[in-house]
Amino acid sequence: MKTLVALTLCIPALLFNGATLAQAERFTVIVGGDRVGRVEVERSGNSVKIVYDIKNNGRGPTIDETLKLGADGLPQQWRISGTTTFGSKVDERFERNAKRATWTDSTGKGSAALGEPAIYVAQSSSPWSLGLYARALLRDSDRQMPALPGGILALEKGSVVPVTGASGALNTTAYALRGLDLQPSDVLLDDAGNLFAFVTPQFIVVRAGYEPEEQRLRELATTWSTDRYVAIEKRVAHRYAAPVRIRNVRVFEPQIGPVSGSQNGSLGGSLGGSLGGSLSPLKSVLIHGRHISAVEPLDSPPTPGEVTIEGAGGTLIPGMFEMHGHLSQDEALLNLAAGITSVRDMGNDNAVLDALIASIENGTLGGPRVTRSGFIEGKSPFNAANGILVDSESKAVDAVRWYAARGYWQIKIYNSMNPAWVPAVIQEAHRLGLRIAGHVPAFSNADAMIQAGYDEMTHINQFMLGWVLQPEEDTRTLLRLTALKRLPKLDLDSDRVRRTIDMMVERKLAIDPTLGIHEQLTLNRDGQVPPGAVDYLDHMPIGVQRNAKQSLTDAAAPEDDKAYREAFEKIIATVRRLHERGVFIVPGTDTGGSFTYHRELELYQRAGMSAAQVLQRATLDMARYLRQDQQLGSIEKGKLADFFLVPGDPLQDLKAIKTISMVVKDGTVYFPSEIYPQFGIRPFAEKPRVMQ
C-alpha cells in the first residue's frame, strides 16, 4: 500500500469537498464471515495513529502507523512498524519536504525530487491508506498520478452503493484504484471522503457497525471483478469458427508407465515414477471445436478454410496441472497464460468457487478446468475460514457426505481438526469413493495420519515437523513455519525418519510438497530478488516487484538466516529421498500458480527429476492421477485441445516453459502477449503469426 507526495493543493487538512474528515475511524476485517482483525485510526490535529492487526488461520500482520499530515492533508512523515503475515519485521519510513521525498522500506532506501504531484506507495501500510490515495486522486483533474518508487496510480469512479448499519443509512461511492498490484483495489468512500470499506470477493475491511453488510459487499466485489474479467475475456479469447492448424511444431510426447494412484483411495493401482518423454519430429496439430482433430506430418496439405498458426519450430506441450490451488477470479486467466489448463482446488469458499467454475465452463471467463477438494476444518481460535467448519466427529462425517453428494474428488483435512475424528472421516470418505489429503492436525504427526489412511500428504513441512516437534507444540500457529529452523539438525538416516518414509513407500502414498512456498519462506530476504522470481520479476508492476523483495519470516539474526537456508537444503534432500524411494511427487504451489508453478517444477530437478520427467509429471501423470487421461495429459487425436507453445526446447532447458507464446484450452486460443498487459505485466514472448 502507499502514500502521497508533493501535492500543493490548498485544501484544509481535515476537509474533503467541504465535509470534515473523521477524527476516529474503526474497521473490522472479515474473512468468510469471521471477524479476524481490526483497523483503528485516531486523529489529533495533523497527526494520525493507526493500529492494524489480523489473525486468521494462526497468522497475520500486526502493524502500527504514525503519520504527520501537511497543510494539503497528505503525509509529511509516515512511520510503519510491526510484523508481516509470516513474522518478518517491518520498519518503513517516509518523509517529504518542499523539494524532496525520501523513504526506507524492505528493499532499502529511495528518494525522489518533487516536481509534478506524485504518490508514494507504502509497502506495508494498512488498508486505511487506500482511502488516502483515493482522496488524493480525486483532487487531481485526470484522477491519475505518477507513483513512487515507480508506476502510475489511477482512480475510476463506479456506482453509488447505499449501506445501512448501527450509525444509520449512508450513500457510499465505489472506486477502483489501479496501479497498486496486478488487479485494481475496490474501495468505498462516504460523502466526506472517509474510507468506508475495502472490498474483495474473499474478504472485506468495513467500517465498524456495518459488519452485516459483509456478504452483500463481497457479492458486489465479485460482480465488479467478474465484469472486468468478462471484458478481458472478450478481448483476448480467440474462438475460430474453422479448423485451426498449428504447424511446424515439435510435440512433447510423454511415455506411458505404471498407473499412478493409491491403494487406499478411489484410484487403485500402484505408484510409478515418470518415465519422461521426448519431442516428436516437426508436425502439424489440428483442432476443431474443443478437440484435437488430427496430428499430422508437417508436409500434410491444409484443407480449405483453415486458420493457420505458425509454430516456427517451437515445442507444443500438453496443458499442465496445478495441483495445489485456491483458485480465484484474479488468478484464473493468469494461470491459463502460464500454460496451466487444469487446477486442483485445495479449499475455498464453496459457493464462490462454484460460481467461478460455472463462469469458466460456460465461456464467460477464461480459466483452467477445476477439480474440487472438500475442505474440512475444526473450529478453534486458529481455524481457517474455507470450506466447512465442524465441532464434532459426526459433523465432520456429515461434511464428507455433503462433498461426496456434490461430486468433489477428495477431502482435505486441516490444522484444527481433532485428530481423533480423522479415522471416521477417512472411513466415510473411502466408503463414498473420495480420497483423503491434508495437513497434519495439531498435536499429531504424519505417522498417525498415514496409519489412519491418508492417500496423500500435503506440504513438506507438515510431513517433516513430526520429526522435530514435541507432542504438545501447537502447529495451528506460525510455529509450523518457524520450526523449520530446527531442520538442519535433523538426521535423515535416523529411525524416526526411516519409519515415516517406509510407511509412505509401503502404502504407496503421494505427497504434494509445495517446494516453492518453502523456498520463499526460508530464502526470501529484504531487498533481494527472491531465487524463485529471478526470471520474471522485472516484468511485473513496480508494486509486485517491491513486495517480492521482502522477507516472509524473521531471518534478521545471522543464526536464523543460516538456519533457514540450511533448512531448505534439508527439505530438498528429503524430497529427493522420497523421489528415489518411489514416493509419488504431486506438483502444486499454494501460492496462486502461474509464475510460481514454473518455479515449483524447476525445483523438482534439484530433487532428482530430469526435465522430461518433470514435464510428464505436470501433464500426463497428473491426468492419470486424477483419472482424466482419456481426455487430457497428451496431444493426441480425439483428446481435448489443451496445450501451449514455447519457442525453445524444454527438454534441454526447462526454463523454456516460462516463455509461452500461445495457450489453447478447450479449443479456445489465447496469446499471453495480449493477456499480460491487462495486468500491467510485460510479455515474455511474441504472439505467433496467425493466417486466416
Tens digit of pLDDT for each residue in 333-352? 999 999 999 999 999 999 98
Residue with cell 502507499: 2
649 CB-near residues (< 8 Å, 6+ apart): 250, 279, 315, 656
Q: How far apart are CA 546 and CA 542, in angstroms?
A: 6
458 CB-near residues (< 8 Å, 6+ apart): 324, 346, 412, 437, 438, 439, 511, 512, 514
Cell numbers representing residue 336 in the block:
491459463
Handedness of CA 362, 363, 369, 371 (dihedral sign): negative
Nearest Cα neighbor of 288 from 634, 638, 630, 633 is 638
If phi > 0 it is left, if psi is from -120 to 50 it is alpha, else beta; for residue 316 that is: beta
495 CB-near residues (< 8 Å, 6+ apart): none
Task: Specify the length of the chain in residues.
Answer: 692
What pLDDT is recorded for position 587? Answer: 98
Question: For the chain, what is the mean pLDDT?
Answer: 92
Sequence-ordered strand ranges (E) for 513-655? 584-585, 643-646
Q: How far apart are CA 427 and CA 26, in angstroms?
A: 47
The reported pTM is 0.90
421 CB-near residues (< 8 Å, 6+ apart): 378, 390, 392, 393, 396
Is residue 106 within 8 A of residue 527, CB to CB? The reply is yes
Tens digit of pLDDT for each residue in 353-395? 999 999 999 999 999 999 999 999 999 999 988 899 999 999 9
Question: Which residues face 532 on adjacent strands?
Answer: none
CA distances from 378 to 305, 392, 415 (A): 58, 8, 8
Is residue 74 within 8 A of residue 63, CB to CB? The reply is no
CA angle 72, 90, 27 (to 5 degrees): 60
What pLDDT is recorded for position 74? Answer: 77
Q: 189: how many CB neighbours lie within 10 A of its CB?
A: 21
SS3 category, 277: strand
263: pLDDT strictly greater than 80:
no
Tens digit of pLDDT for each residue in 491-510? 999 999 999 999 999 999 99
What pLDDT is recorded for position 270? Answer: 42
CA distances from 189 to 140, 195, 228, 441 (A): 16, 5, 21, 42
Tens digit of pLDDT for each residue in 264-286? 433 433 445 567 899 999 999 99
- If you average pLDDT over residues 628-642, what whole number do you get? 98
Is residue 641 within 8 A of residue 667, CB to CB? The reply is yes
Report the percent of the chain where pLDDT is more than 90. 84
Question: Which residues face 77 on adjacent strands?
Answer: 68, 95
What pLDDT is recorded for position 20? Answer: 56
131 CB-near residues (< 8 Å, 6+ apart): 187, 189, 193, 194, 195
Is residue 411 within 8 A of residue 437, CB to CB? The reply is yes
687 CB-near residues (< 8 Å, 6+ apart): 661, 662, 671, 673, 674
Is residue 358 within 8 A of residue 372, CB to CB? The reply is no
Cα-only R_g, the chain: 26
**Beta pairing, strands 291-297 & 283-288:** antiparallel
Nearest Cα neighbor of 315 from 283, 288, 292 is 283
Residue with cell 530446527: 486
Q: How far apart are CA 426 and CA 42, in angstroms?
A: 51
Q: How many CA atoms within 13 Å lie on the side-chain side of 319?
A: 34
Give the pLDDT band (50/70/90) at residue 95. very high
On the question of a cis peptide bond just before residue 254, with omega within 30 degrees of 0, the verdict is: no
- If you average pLDDT over residues 299-306, what whole number do you get? 95
19: pLDDT strictly greater than 90:
no
Q: Bigger pLDDT: 56 or 343? A: 343
301 CB-near residues (< 8 Å, 6+ apart): none
SS3 category, 160: strand
If phi > 0 it is left, if psi is from -120 to 50 it is alpha, else beta; for residue 587 that is: beta
Is residue 165 within 8 A of residue 91, CB to CB? The reply is no
Tens digit of pLDDT for each residue in 101-150? 999 999 999 999 988 778 888 999 999 999 999 998 998 889 998 888 88
Q: How many CA atoms within 13 Å lie on the side-chain side of 187?
A: 25
Tell me the backbone φ, ψ of residue 53, rounded to 5 degrees: -145, 130
Provide DSSP, 200-256: -SSEEEEETT-GGGHHHHHHHHHHHHHHHHHHHHHHH-B--SS-EEEEEEEEEEEPP
- If you average pLDDT over residues 418-433, what whole number do you get? 98
403: pLDDT strictly greater than 90:
yes
Cell numbers representing residue 592 in the block:
496462486
75: pLDDT strictly greater than 80:
yes
What pLDDT is recorded for position 71? Answer: 78
Kindly give the residue spans of alpha helices, DSSP state H, lying in 406-536.
422-431, 446-452, 460-464, 479-482, 495-506, 515-523
Lowest mean pLDDT of 65-69, 115-119, 232-236, 551-555, name the range: 115-119
Tens digit of pLDDT for each residue in 532-568? 999 999 999 888 999 999 999 999 999 999 999 999 9
Residue with cell 508533493: 6
What pLDDT is recorded for position 22? Answer: 67
Lowest mean pLDDT of 137-146, 295-304, 605-614, 675-684, name the range: 137-146
What pLDDT is recorded for position 116? Answer: 78
What pLDDT is recorded for position 3? Answer: 31
Q: How far apart are CA 421 and CA 508, in angstroms?
A: 23
SS3 category, 625: helix
306: pLDDT strictly greater than 70:
yes
Tens digit of pLDDT for each residue in 453-485? 999 999 999 999 999 999 999 999 989 999 999
